[in-house]
Amino acid sequence: MKIGLTYNLKDEVSPLSIMNNEFNEEFDSRKTIDALSLIFEKYGFKTAMLGARLDMADRLKKEKIDFVFNIAEGYYGRNRESFVPSVLEAFNIPYSGSDPLTLGMTLDKIVTKKLLHAAKIPTPAYYVVRKIEDIKDAEDRLEYPVITKPAWEGSSKGVYNSSKALDKHGLKKNIKILFKKYPNQPVLVEEYIKGREITVGVIGNEFPKVMALMEIVNKKHPGEDFFYSLEVKRDWENLVDYESPPRIHNVLETQIRRFALMAYREFGCRDVSRIDFRISEYNDPYLLEINPLPGLSPEYGDLAIMARKNKIAYEELVISILNSAFSRYGIREVKKKSVEAMGS
C-alpha cells in the first residue's frame, strides 16, 4: 500500500511569503514530513511526497496512491485547507482527517462562532468588522479589554502581543493594523478572556476520545496575564511551559471535555483535532476555536508535546490518527497500542 503525504513547507518561497513574513507560519518543516514518512515506512508502507501544488493531481494518478495522509494547510483564502481534500474526493482517494466542509467551517472563526452559539457551546462575545470603512461602528460594543484577530488565519497569524486593546483608541489602531496586513479579510473583535488557557486533543470518529488536556503556561512570569500570540509561539521554548494534565478542578475538567467532544461532533471532525479554550477568572470555559489540522511537528506541535507529557510516543499518536482514518474506510488497521485506552 502506498501512502501519499500532502503538506506545505515552511521554506517554500513565493511572492506572498516575501511580502508577508507570516505567510508560511502555518506550514510544516521538512523534519515533520520526514518523521511522518519514516513512521509509515517502518510499518511497511511505501510513501510518496506529494506536497500541495496543482501538480499533485497528476501525481495522484501517475503514482497510484492508495491513501493520503493530509496535513496541507493550503495557500490562499478561507478555503485553502479544503483544497487538497476536495481534490482527493474528486479522485475518490481515501485520506486522513476532516473533510473540506469541516476544514472550511473551522478555519473561518466567524462561521465557527455562529455554529458554537447554535450548539450552545460558550465562546467569547464578539462582533465582526468587515471593512475598514466600518471602523466607526467598532467603538465600545464590548467590555474592554478586547482582542482582535483576522477572521480566517491560524498559528496566531495576526495575533500579536499588542492585539489586546484596553480602550477604543487601542482597538481602532489594532483594526487598522490588521486591515493593512490582511486587506481582504474581516477582523474579529472578541472579548478578551483573562485567565488560563487550555488546549484539548481529541482523536477518533463515531466515539471520539479526549487524548489529554494541556495548559499553556506563562514561563517567564507564572501567574501573570498572558496569551499565545505570534511572538510567543515563535519563541515558545523560552516563553511557554506546557502542563499536561493541567492542575484544574474536576468539575472544570469535565466541562471542558464535554464542550470539546460536543464541538468535535457538531463540526463533523474526523480522526483528530485540537480544540482551544480560555478559562475565565470565574472558572467558566470559553471555546476559542477548533483545529482539525493540528500541527504535527514531533518537536513543537502542541499535540505532540501533549502526547509526550502523557507518555504517548509520537509514533503512537501518528498511528492512532492513521488507524482512525483507516477504520472509516474499512482498511485493515495497523497493529499498535493506540491512545484509545486514554480518557473518555
Ligand X SMILES: Nc1ncnc2c1ncn2[C@@H]1O[C@H](COP(=O)(O)OP(=O)(O)OP(=O)(O)O)[C@@H](O)[C@H]1O
Q: Minimal CA–CA distance to 187: which of 124, 228, 131?
A: 131
User: Does residue 3 belong to the site contacting ligand X (CB under 6 A)?
Assistant: no
Binding to ligand X (CB under 6 A): which residues in 189-218? 190-193, 197
Contact call for residues 160 and 229 (beta carbons, < 8 A): yes
C-alpha grid cell for residue 144? Answer: 474592554
Closer residue to ligand X, CB minimum distance, 47 or 297: 297
Q: In angstroms, give the least distance from the CB of 11 to ligand X.
A: 19
* Binding at 190: pick from Mg ion, ligand X, none (beta carbon under 5-8 Å per type): ligand X
Q: How far is the CB of 91 from ligand X (least distance, A)?
A: 28
Taking the complex as a whole, the smallest distance from the CB of residue 294 to Mg ion amounts, in Å, to 9
List binders of ligand X among 37-76 (CB under 6 A).
Answer: none
Cα-Cα end-to-end distance for the chain? 32
Site residues for Mg ion per CB under 5 A: 276
**Distances in Å between the alpha carbon of 3 and those of 31, 64, 139, 249, 260?**
18, 9, 52, 42, 30
Residue 289 in the binding site for ligand X (CB under 6 A): yes
Residue 193 contact partner, candidates Mg ion, ligand X, none, CB within 5 to 8 A by sort of partner: ligand X
Q: How far is the CB of 164 from ligand X (least distance, A)?
A: 7
If binding is defined by CB under 6 A, does position 28 make contact with ligand X?
Answer: no
Grid cell of 68 as nine digits? 493520503
For the bound state, the minimum distance from the C-beta of residue 163 to ligand X, rounded and expressed in Å, comes to 7
User: Should residue 147 be labelled a site residue for ligand X when binding is judged by CB under 6 A?
Assistant: yes
Residue 147: name its binding partner from ligand X, Mg ion, none (Cβ under 5 to 8 Å by kind).
ligand X
Please give the Cα distance from 134 to 158 (Å, whole number): 19
- The CB-of-138 to ligand X minimum distance in angstroms stands at 16
Q: Which stretch binds ligand X (CB under 6 A): 38-46, 148-156, 165-173, 206-214?
A: 148-156
| Residue closer to Mg ion, measured from CB, 214 or 322 | 214
Compare residues 51 and 294 and give the one whose CB is closer to Mg ion: 294
Where are the alpha helices (H) located in the chain, listed in sequence order? 15-19, 30-42, 56-62, 83-90, 100-107, 109-118, 168-181, 230-234, 236-239, 250-266, 302-309, 314-329
Given candidates 159, 240, 275, 312, which one binds ligand X under the rule CB under 6 A?
159
How far is residue 14's CA from residue 32's CA, in Å, rounded to a whole number?
Answer: 21
> How far apart (Å, rounded) are the C-alpha atoms in residues 52 and 176?
32
- The minimum distance between CB 322 and ligand X, in angstroms, equals 22
Partner that binds at residue 239, options ligand X, Mg ion, none, CB closer than 5 to 8 Å by kind: none
Cis peptide before 245 (omega within 30 of 0): yes
Helix (H) or strand (E) holding 208: none
Smaller CB separation from ligand X, 65 or 109: 109
User: How many chain residues are in contact with ligand X, going by CB under 6 A?
Assistant: 21
The window from 9-17, 72-80, 98-106, 156-164 that contacts ligand X (CB under 6 A) reads 156-164
Distance in angstroms (rounded) separating the CA atoms of residues 319 and 166: 45
Sign of CA dihedral 343, 121, 200, 11: positive
User: Which of 72, 288, 307, 321 is the binder for ligand X (CB under 6 A)?
Assistant: 288
Q: Which of residues 122-141 bind ligand X (CB under 6 A)?
A: 124
What lies within 8 Å, CB to CB, of 157 at 6+ separation is 22, 25, 26, 150, 182, 230
Q: What angle do CA 341, 201, 260 make, to 5 degrees?
A: 100
198 binding partner (options ligand X, Mg ion, none; Cβ < 5 to 8 Å by kind): none
Question: In the complex, which residues of this chain contact ligand X (CB under 6 A)?
Answer: 124, 147, 149, 153-157, 159, 190-193, 197, 227-228, 276, 278, 288-289, 291
